[in-house]
Structure 1
Amino acid sequence: MEPPAPPAAEACPEPAPLVVDVVDATGDPAIAAEATALLAAPGVEVGTVSPAADPQPSGIVAAAGTEEAAGRLAAALGAEGLVRTGDVARVTVVLGPDAPGAVLDGLRAFSGLDPAPCPPAG
């Protein structure tokens, strides 16, 4: 008689897409429209797109508790140096008047966001 088979490992659940807001501080709606279209790739869902109330530098802003997700997005965009924390509801891409190209260049090459690694069992 063979010993019972070990229980099958649970498959990692299909991750929900990362919802990313876009804030346009450039004053140019065409830049925000381009960024939004490029950001809508596998693994990402575009949330709110809005103009900035105040001038802000370009970058990826992490809300409290979203630092890992913001870091993954920044790495996928080649913009690791542009991550900062801030008072936002969720991960937010800011297109600032200083260097929107720094974010747009990464978005133009962006093919999607790989899912976060499955947490260890147990």
Structure 2
Amino acid sequence: MICPHENAAIGMAHGYYLGTGKVQAVMVHTNVGLANAACGVINLANSNIPVLIFGGRTPISEHSHFGCRNTPIGYGQEMRDQAALIRESVKWDFELRLADQIGEHVDRAWAIASLPAERAGLPELTA
């Protein structure tokens, strides 16, 4: 489902979990998208609500790779440690740098999110 804002997306995932008991997933834009979602992520963590958070990243290469940094916006959106925005409220975070890592790490994030909460938090995966 496409949402007009990250706050709405997080809130909908929170509510859907409360209604179904199923782990949810939310994808947000790089830096400002995750920043917009941060308050909702803290609420999720404090309520022990499992949601996978997928935060976009800027390209990692200047050329030669699909999706390389070929426009100036890639420089303005770069953050050194994007996951730091929510790290204290998550169970696990991992930054994907290669597409072939997606399957195994999404599976791991889902497994971690599905575990009973030892402390408030949820997995955050940046790609």
TM-score range, shorter chain: under 0.3
Query: Normalization by structure 2: what TM-score?
Result: 0.26
By percentage of residues, which structure has more strand? 1
* Alignment TM-score, normalising by the size of structure 1: 0.27
Which has a greater percent of helix?
2
